[in-house]
Amino acid sequence: MKNISVIGLGKLGTPFAITLASRGFSVIGIDIDSKSVLSLKTGKFGIYEPLINNLWSKNKSLIKATIDYKEAIQDSEITFIIVPTPSQKNGSFSNFYVKKALEKIGKILKDKDKFHLISLVSTVVPTSSELEFIPLLEKQSGKKVGRDFGFCYNPAFIALGSVVKNLLEPDFVLIGESDKKSGDVLEKFYQRFCINNPPIMRMNLVNAEIAKLSLNTFITTKISYANMIGHLCEVIPDADANIVLKAIGQDRRVGSLYLKAASCYGGPCFPRDNKALISVGKKFGISLPIAKATDKINDRHSQNIFKRIKKLVTKKDKITILGMSYKPDTDVIEKSQGTILVDLLINEGYQVTVYDPKALRNVKKLFGKKIRYSQNLENSLKSSTIMVIATNWKEFEKINNKQIKLMKKNPIIFDCWGLLEGKDLGRARYLRNGKYEKI
């Protein structure tokens, strides 16, 4: 197989198409948005993602982009679908955009003689593939899955800011297959695409759909657990959550990843996947109390940080929030600790200045003139009473006493991530999550 098509040129689709080209595949990117198509053609991306500019420059001869589904499907052997599945009011996901893509693919497959594999990457709720997607493809094409075309559910486990690395060196590859032939084709593709020879987990479609949600919600549970212990240690004299968590993380049954008292989880996946799992339980008549508790603890944690900050400042003080993206190395601010804090603070009349290495453009779209923006770290700290480190960007690890002197006399540092723990911070009063200190 040499020719691959990718439907959906968003935050994951565009990096995926470029990464495919970097591994020697000829790629055709498809999107109904002509701006997204032009972006992939020209290399002028509206997203920030490390490595993709360099990879595009080196491999642009292998990359095409079009709004024409027919050209892309006819000229490729595998089609990856990476379109939005927006959350609905009940927490479930909408399959609208997936179905629109499948309708077009099905009509084109009607006139295609060769076997074609469709691999769905977008996150969906369990039973969608069997009950909705395959019947739609068979109806539109007049053909039979497993014989004339294949279908796999193949979600990606990636984090924005490290998409290329996560795609090329995954911990494992998850393949939900309609039939053995389809799974064989996709497994062969990943054996060539990945550079780390990862385990490939093959299963039926519904198990793969459940596994995707289960993995993300297990991680959110671990994050909320760590922050729950953090909250406990904030009220017990001499307690330090990160010392406790580091110790228990040494047990192989627990593990140290994501086990840190820090900020709440956010971004485009974790919060909505947790709510989606709750909605799946409701759909099948059962309650999933751990998922509910995880969600509740996460919301309460943001409120807890807000309340601690309020005790340290007055309405006259300038509050500087460092980090507005939901994680480092991305400009995505969806449900980030920084945006949540800003919203809570300005609603109660506090003066807020923000700085982020990459996300300011998106922050301005969200808050407009309600807050102040700084283009660099130093300007953000001038005359501020308190610095709140909300995102663990590498730049913030290098904050020094000289920069802190730009703040008001005897400033306060509230460090959600413990980045400055143990450093010489001059006269600054240092506080962080998960550690007892009277306020």
Burial environment of residue 203 by CB neighbours within 10 A (0 to 12, 13 to 18, 19 or more):
middle
Q: Which residues make up the CATH 3.40.50.720 domain(s) of the chain?
A: 3-203, 209-439
- Are the C-beta atoms of residues 390 and 336 closer than 8 Å to each other? yes
- 5 phi and psi, to 5 degrees? -115, 145
pTM: 0.94
Lateral strand order in the sheet of 429-432: 372-373, 351-355, 318-322, 386-389, 412-415, 429-432
- Are the C-beta atoms of residues 17 and 156 closer than 8 Å to each other? no
Instruction: Say how far apart CA 92 and CA 275 lie, in whole Å.
Output: 7
Instruction: Say how far apart CA 221 and CA 367 lie, in whole Å.
Output: 30
> What is the dihedral sign for C-alpha 298, 301, 302, 303?
positive
Per CATH, the homologous superfamily of domain 3-203 is NAD(P)-binding Rossmann-like Domain (3.40.50.720)
Instruction: Say how far apart CA 400 and CA 127 lie, in whole Å.
Output: 53
Instruction: Say how far apart CA 266 and CA 305 lie, in whole Å.
Output: 15
* H/E run at residue 66: strand 63-66
- Local confidence pLDDT in tens for the 439 residues of the chain: 789 999 999 999 999 999 999 999 999 999 999 999 999 999 999 889 999 999 999 999 999 999 999 999 999 999 999 999 999 999 999 999 999 999 999 999 999 999 999 999 999 999 999 999 999 999 999 999 999 999 999 999 999 999 999 999 999 999 999 999 999 999 999 999 999 999 999 999 999 999 999 999 999 999 999 999 999 999 999 999 999 999 999 999 999 999 999 999 999 999 999 999 999 999 999 999 999 999 999 999 999 999 999 999 999 999 999 999 999 999 999 999 999 999 999 999 999 999 999 999 999 999 999 999 999 999 999 999 999 999 999 999 999 999 999 999 999 999 999 999 999 999 999 999 999 988 8
Instruction: Say how far apart CA 232 and CA 434 lie, in whole Å.
Output: 7
Instruction: Say how far apart CA 402 and CA 427 lie, in whole Å.
Output: 11
- Of 352, 415, 419, nearest in space to 385 by CA: 352
Question: Which CATH code is given to the segment(s) 209-439?
Answer: 3.40.50.720
